[in-house]
Amino acid sequence: MIDIGPYDMWAIEYGYTFSSDLKKILARVAEPQLAYATDEDTGGPDPLARRYDFSKNPLDYAKSQLELVQYHRGRLLEKFVKAGDSWAKARRGYELTLSLQMRSVSMMANWIGGAHVNRDRKGDKNGRAPLSVVPANSQREALKFVIESTFRDKSYGLSTELLRHMTVDKWIDGADGFARAMNSEPAWPVHDKIIGIQASALTMLMNPTTLTRTYDNEFRVPANEAALTLPELLKALSTEIWSELNQKPVEGATARKPLVSSLRRNLQQEHIDRLITLSLPGNGSGAAFKAVALLARQELVEIRDRVAKTSKDWDNKADPYTRAHLGRVEDQVTKVLDAQVIYNAKDIGGRSPRPLLFLQPSDSPAGSQARP
């Protein structure tokens, strides 16, 4: 609400009442409409303490925003760009919808590992605990929303027709007009843009703060109650990102009609790189990262085994892009898992404070001796 609301009226009543007994006023602290958070809370674990989010149910609001995105994308070429307009308007319009899409994704990503913060005091009427973990179902719905809104090709509404019309104007007016005109690429860099968004979504879900909060929340929820766990979070990402491994090969797959699209190949490689980083000793601080490293390594093992089996099952039916992609992933993960680790490298002449990894060929005798 962008106006004087129930909390404001409550604060005014408290500050300007003539009564000397304030207990009756303060007894309303747990009423839902008196929820309060400051700017300092927007960086905390409470997903309801966010700027520009004034909805009662953020998930419903985020879904409605994506419906608007899909509606306007379908009208860009026919309705948004008028007769006589530059086709650069189609590009500006699409990027506006992309911004709205990412704003909704960012809003819902805050629910993963979240906890609601209350300022009730001991003895308050209907007093609540200072912290209450976001219900597991709400976190799972938020996770599903982020996954479906960023990791699937269809979520971007791109078509060859739209891409052929997404250009720029070359105006040199303004202080930086010449530089902007010279550096503007007429062809929209589709792969760079999409992987940038997908990488951002992975960061929202796999950053140290979110992973630590998710891990700590497991301890705050009684064992007989549902909770979103670290294994569930990491597994949900792997299941979605590598879903192509579950399908049967389509006859006639070619470089023009690959089994795994170019956008998905980029996403899968980004996911592997993130898991490798999380699995390495010395990456991340705090007790949570011991568990994170073990789980990330286990995900790598399972993905590597699935990739190897899929490559064998698909045999020569895979297109060149997919075959090269799966081969590289299998080789990369195998070498990381078989890497030798040298601790205290700085004490033997090295400069790095982190353990060093020495990658061995998968068929090397040394490759099976030491594992992280």
Residue 241: is its pLDDT beyond 50? yes
Residue 323, in any domain of the structure: yes
Q: Do 101 and 168 fall within a single domain?
A: yes
Query: Residue 370: its pLDDT value, please?
Result: 43
> Is there a single domain that holds both residue 233 and residue 259?
yes
Q: Which two tokens stand for residue 46?
A: 């409470």
Distance CA 144, CA 284 (A): 26
As given in the structure block, the two tokens for residue 119 are 């300022």
Residue 204: which of 103, 109, 279 has the closest Cα? 109
Are residues 317 and 345 both part of a single domain?
no
Q: Which domain holds residue 353?
A: 339-372
Q: What is the pLDDT, as a whole number, of residue 238?
A: 98
Looking at per-residue pLDDT, the higher value among 271 and 122 belongs to 271
Contacts of 327 (CB under 8 A, 6+ apart): 311
Higher model confidence: residue 315 or residue 6? 6
Residues 162 and 146 reside in one and the same domain? yes
Question: CA–CA separation, 337 vs 339, rounded Å?
Answer: 6
Point out the domain boundary residue: 155, 189, 223: 189
- Residue 17 is given by DSSP the state -
Question: Does residue 305 carry a pLDDT above 70?
Answer: yes
On average, the pLDDT of the chain sits at 88
Strand partners for 68: none
Listed ranges 43-57, 197-211, 271-285, 337-351; the one with the highest mean pLDDT: 197-211
Task: Give the DSSP H or E segment for 281.
Answer: none
Q: Quick check: 372 and 344 in contact, CB under 8 A?
A: no
| pLDDT at 368 > cutoff 60 | no
Nearest to 100 by CA among 37, 155, 40: 155
Residues 220 and 296 in one domain: yes
pLDDT at 357: 60
What is the distance between the alpha carbons of residues 143 and 149, in angstroms, rounded to a whole number? 10
Q: If you average pLDDT over residues 318-333, what whole number do you get?
A: 96
Alpha-carbon distances, residue 274 vs 1, 98, 207, 365 (angstroms): 39, 24, 10, 28
pLDDT tens digits for range 253-266: 999 999 999 999 99
Q: Which of 276, 100, 89 is nearest to 197 (CA)?
A: 100
DSSP label at 116? E
In the numeric block, the tokens 């286990």 are attached to: 298
61 and 171 share one domain: yes
pLDDT of residue 153: 97
Does 289 have pLDDT greater than 60? yes
- Rounded to whole angstroms, how far apart are CA atoms 51 and 110? 12
Q: What pLDDT is recorded for position 339?
A: 83
* Separation of alpha carbons 264 and 240, rounded Å: 10
pLDDT at 319: 94
Number of other CB atoms surrounding residue 202 within 10 Å: 20
CA distance linking residue 295 with residue 54, whole number of Å: 36
182 and 84 part of one domain: yes
Q: Which pLDDT value is given to residue 37?
A: 81
Which residues are paired to 132 by β-bridges? 116
Element (H, E) at 121: none
DSSP label of 48: T
Q: Which residues partner with 272 through β-bridges?
A: none
Q: How far apart are CA 67 and CA 77, in angstroms?
A: 18
Q: How many domains does one find in the chain?
A: 3
Is 300 within the bounds of a domain? yes
The answer to whether residues 344 and 332 belong to one domain is: no
Q: What is the pTM of this model?
A: 0.85
Q: Tell me how far apart the alpha carbons of residues 327 and 272 are, in angstroms, rounded to a whole number.
A: 13
In a domain, residue 259? The reply is yes
Regarding whether 326 and 305 lie in a shared domain, the answer is yes
Q: Verify that 249 and 372 share a domain, yes or no.
A: no
**Do 256 and 242 have their domain in common?**
yes
Same domain, residue pair 332 and 360: no
Residue 34 lies in a domain: no
DSSP letter at 350 equals -
* In a domain? residue 65: yes
